[in-house]
Structure 1
Amino acid sequence: MTLSLIDTTVFVVYALALVAVALWVSREKAGHNKDTKDYFLAGNSLPWWAIGASLIAANISAEQIIGMSGSGFAIGLGIASYEWMAAITLIIVGKYFLPIFLQRGIYTMPQFLEQRYDHRVRTVLAVFWLGVYVFVNLTAVLWLGALAINTIAGVDMIYGMIFLALFSVVYSLYGGLKAVAMTDIIQIFVLVAGGLLLSYICLDLIGAGEGVIAGFVTLTEQVPEKFDMILSEDNPHYVSLPGLSVLVGGMWIMNLSYWGFNQYIIQRTLAAKSLEEGQKGIAFAAFLKLLMPIIVVLPGIAAVVLAPELERPDQAYPSMMQLMPVGVKGLVFAALVAAIVSSLASMTNSISTIFTMDLYSYYKKNETQKHYVTVGRVVSLVSLTLAVICAKPLLGQAEQAFQYIQEFTGFFTPGICVLFLLGMFWKKANANSAMVAALGSFLLSIVLKYLWPELPFMDRVGLVFILCVILAVVTALITGGKDQENAVNLDDIQFKTRSSYNVAAIAVICILIALYSAWW
């Protein structure tokens, strides 16, 4: 299948407009050259609305839209827990984590680890994150994005990946984080509008033209098993979403690691004008997360009725897009590509930030700011090239890419959460305890995966987290057991939030209670 001339025109106009806006916001005053703060942290100038939009645009990409829709097709509404539980996770990050990070004035998450522990911990985690971002996140976004383009426009997979990589480079390589964050405002608007339109048309088709409400009722009647938020043990997908663990177990660890300690997510909050602006942006993103399942999960469930013959779950979203009328398909296609290139730009900017600021600058201490920015741009290009080359071998045979990503990152996230949480809130944590938690997380996860294969990976994440906490505490007590000089002084941190933030937090909690009560 190929796009019509009208659809292609809509997409091309969108792409050109995006590049034009990116170049406009990236322009510099005469005589001023971008330094590392400008390129990697947008000069600490981002307002709340840009932060909130950019957080979601960075998060919602091909592995979310294509992958989560595929999981919606295979599992059902239960996969929305990743979105809805993330909303309350964001509130926690804004209140308790962001004040610490901004007070420390950091560029990267590994930089905080060096401030709190030592350079050894910083280096190990920097190398780990570079590997995950290039060989897991970038490859997943490129592969699934190319799959969507192939299904909708008939473009060969390799050319689709090259196009996406070049598109993200064109609008982000010069401007850095500011270009990414400011264009994300356009991206998220197009993404939400296009996604809501797709869901509307799918439900209207299921309702035989009687409207979306009738379509939704019909959908719940035809596939009631797809509307269980908490899966029972006899559900064939219990291993992916093990019952109450989505509320009280390992999903908390996955979410805290992703939203609180993940460089390419947290970086836009580090670029906030102020703590209050960052917190308002996070609250805005939390409300957007509540909306996301309508955009990314519902079309996948609708595909069970509209296209039950699909060979693979990850074909659900692209297949639903084929139902769009001429012109509208171009808009929805633009929305999908918007999400993909936004995440690619965010990831490559974070990869270049970590490599340049955490590794390269340590060995090349006296170079100019212009030199570091140039290195960052080169690293962005190299990382995209590697991801294009490795995408097919790594993801070509994956049934549900979203679940693949969660399973892989689940080997490391327990240890990451332990060393950050203890590093922020327990003064006795030291570098040795951090290394034990980081390495123990991977080793314990491997051992449990093969010795206890029937244990759901989310439960494994929770169990490994508890074991890593024990190991880290014991190690810290054995190797000194005293408060560290570089520990975070919580008395200097402003944890008190404005009443508007508190109202937003209460609203998010109430909405989540209502949602889980309705679909329990």
Structure 2
Amino acid sequence: MTLNPIDLAIFVVYVLGLIAVAFYVSREKAGHDKNTDDYFLAGHSLPWWAIGASLIAANISAEQIIGMSGSGYVLGLAIASYEWMAAITLIIVGKYFLPIFLKRKIYTMPQFLEQRFDSRVKTTMAIFWLAVYVFVNLTAVLWLGALAINTLTGLDLTYCMILLAALSLTYSLYGGLKAVAFTDIIQVVLLIAGGLFLSYMSLNLIGDGQGIIAGFDRLSSELPEKFDMILTPDSPHYVNLPGLSVLVGGMWIMNLSYWGFNQYIIQRTLAAKDLAEAQKGIAFAAFLKLLMPVIVVLPGIAAVLILPDLAKPDQAYPELMNLMPVGLKGLIFAALVAAILSSLASMTNSVATIFTMDLYKPRRPDGTQGHYVKVGRIVSLVALIVALVTAQPLLGKFDQAFQYIQEFTGFFTPGIVVLFLLGMFWKKTTANAALAATIGSAAISLAFKMIMPEVPFMDRVGLVFISCMALAILVTLVEKPEEHKNAVDLNDVDFKTQSNFNISALLVTLILIALYTTWW
């Protein structure tokens, strides 16, 4: 695919507009210099619509758009469980986790762990998250995003990665989280608009110009197997989506870890004006998650009829883009790049926040606010440079890099969920128990993988979670503690939610029930 000059012009206008908005929202009043609250938490000024949009923009990147479309091409609507189950997870996070985090007035997840346990737990998890964000997440988004752009434009992979890193830094390095969050609104609008139009054009093409309803009717009648949400054990794809585990098993653990305890996701909600605003933003993001399969999965299923002879499933989305008319192709390409940039900007800002606030500031407590902001900017730059240098050596040899990355992070996910759940809701949990769950997660995951390699990844995550939970409880009981001195006082936390959040939660639940009932 090559971009027409009109498509290229649309993309350039988008980039320039993005940079202009970032600098506009990042400007400071005369006489006021950015402090750590401004740079890392947007001055606690984010409204609900910016929080919701930014949550989705940080979550969706090129590898997910192209990868999930490819999965839709191969196994159908079942892959949408990753999106739809995330919607209900967001509601849980907003109802039960956010009140605790905001009550503690934290900047980072490691900071909460220090408040609840001790500095050992904080430092261990801070170093772990920094390593994962730089050497796993950032490298993945850069490498797989560059592969996507290379597929679409033919531009050299190295130049693609440099371009993505440079664009990300251009609009996020100066403004911090505020610039990231407010430009994410543009990113999400573009992502949804481009994705919906691609779905519309695909269904209309299948319906021979008779509209999307005719196209969807033909798609569902000719490919009924692509609309099975719960796969049976005889399905060749059961190992990736093992039946009911998507509803009651390991997917819950992965979602709770990602949406509830992941710094570069949860940081937006920590920057809210107040708890009610954060919860409205969470609810908005939940509704957007319900929409995402229409944008990224449905085109992949449609490609089975439109492009039945693809060499690789992941070519589905790029090849469909190639069918779009001039101008609209540029819009959809801009949407794809938008998804990559927002993820990069979010991750670098979170790396800077954790390093500065959890590792650097405790050792240099006498620094000025401006000094800490400068350190954060330097760390953002260094993190991206390191990711640029290491992306190809780390991921270039893998044919399915995204799957390897999921499996790697899945080794630690169960322990992280145990660490936070017990830390928040069981007052006796000790710091040693927290460390045992964290370290034990990797060891137990490796043992399960070696002893029972046939067990689906998602089921293994559930089994490791149960094991880590038992281990942490056992360590705590052996130590025979009273209530931990830093335990969360749940009586002091207001879990009541406003009527708009309650209505949103009910609607999300009812929509999910309807979706799974329809395509069970």
Distance in 1 of aligned mates of 2:516 and 2:228: 9
Distance of 2:351 and 2:116 partners within structure 1? 22
Whether the 8 Å contact between 2:6 and 2:326 is mirrored in structure 1 is yes
**CA–CA distance in structure 2, aligned partners of residues 474 and 103 of structure 1:** 29
1:439-454 pair list within 5 angstroms:
439-454=439-454
The code of the aligned residue for 1:414 comes to P
SS at match of 1:474: helix
TM-score, length of structure 1 as denominator length: 0.98
Note closer, same or farther for the CA distance 1:448–1:244 as it changes in structure 2 (3 Å cut): same
Distance apart, 1:134 and its partner CA: 1.3
Q: Does 1:413 align with 2:413?
A: yes
1:103-123 superposed Cα distances (whole Å, 9 cap, x missing partner): 000000000000000111011
Aligned to 2:287: 287
Query: Residues 478-517 of structure 1: matches in 2 within 5 Å?
Result: 478-517=478-517
Q: 1:50 corresponds to which residue?
A: 50
Q: CA shift at 1:155, angstroms?
A: 1.1
Aligned residue pairs, count:
520
Question: Does 1:253 find its partner at 2:258?
Answer: no
- 1:19-78 Cα distance to aligned partner (Å, 9 max, x none): 000000000111211111100000000010110111111111113212222222222211
CA distance in 1, matches of 2:230, 2:136: 28
Q: What secondary structure, in the 3-state scheme, does the structure 1 residue paired with 2:355 have?
A: helix
Please report how far the alpha carbon of residue 271 of structure 1 lies from its aligned counterpart in structure 2 after TM superposition: 0.1
Task: For residue 140 of structure 2, give the secondary structure of its aligned residue in structure 1.
Answer: helix
Q: Which residue of 1 aligns with 2:19?
A: 19
What residue number does 2:196 align with? 196
Distance in 1 of aligned mates of 2:315 and 2:132? 25
- Contact 2:199–2:298 (CA<8 Å) still a contact in 1? yes
Instruction: Work out the CA distance in 2 between the residues paired with 1:101 and 1:176.
Output: 21
Deviation, structure 1 residue 397: 4.4
Percent identity between matched residues is 72
How far the C-alpha of 1:315 sits from its partner, in A, is: 2.3
Match of 1:354 in 2: 354
Q: Secondary structure at the match of 1:75?
A: helix
Structure 1 segments of 4+ aligned residues over 6 angstroms from their partners: none
Letter in 2 for 1:492: D
Q: Residue 430 of structure 1 corresponds to which residue in structure 2?
A: 430
| Letter matched to residue 507 of structure 2 | A
2:457 paired residue number: 457
- Contact 1:445/1:460 (<8 A) preserved: yes
Q: Which secondary structure does the structure 1 equivalent of 2:362 belong to?
A: helix
**Counterparts of residues 222-237 of structure 1 (less than 5 Å):** 222-237=222-237
SS, match of residue 316 in structure 1: helix
Measured at CA, do residues 137 and 359 of structure 1 come closer, stay the same or move farther in structure 2, by a change above 3 Å? same
Please say if 1:278 is aligned against 2:272: no
Question: Which stretch of structure 1 is more off in the superposition, 127-136 or 63-72?
Answer: 63-72
Shift of 1:139: 1.6
Counterparts of 2:130 and 2:319, CA distance in 1? 33
1:209, distance to aligned residue in structure 2 (A)? 1.6
**Aligned mates of 2:72, 2:317 — CA distance in 1:** 10
- For 1:356, the aligned partner's letter is T
- Residue by residue over 1:189-217, the C-alpha shift from the partner in whole angstroms, topping out at 9 and shown as x without a partner, is 11100000011111112222221112122
RMSD of aligned alpha carbons: 1.2
In structure 1, how many angstroms separate the alpha carbons of the residues matched to 2:400 and 2:313?
7
* Contact 2:40/2:353, CA 8 A, preserved across alignment: yes
Task: Name the CA shift for 1:401/1:318 in 2 (closer, same or farther; >3 Å).
Answer: farther
Q: TM-score, normalised by structure 2?
A: 0.98
Task: Report which stretch shifted further, 260-269 or 134-143.
Answer: 134-143
Q: Which residue of 2 aligns with 1:474?
A: 474
Q: Kindly report which structure 2 residues correspond to 1:92-131, keeping only aligned pairs within 5 A, or say none.
A: 92-131=92-131
Unaligned runs of 5+ in 2: none
The aligned amino acid for 1:104 is R
Q: Which runs of 5+ in 1 are unaligned?
A: none
Q: What SS does the corresponding residue of 1:362 show, helix, strand or coil?
A: coil
Contact 1:414 1:464 in 2 (8 A): yes
Q: Which residue of 2 aligns with 1:385?
A: 385
Per-residue CA deviation, residues 212-271 of structure 1 (Å, 9 max, x unaligned), is: 112122222333222111111111111111000000000000000000000000000000
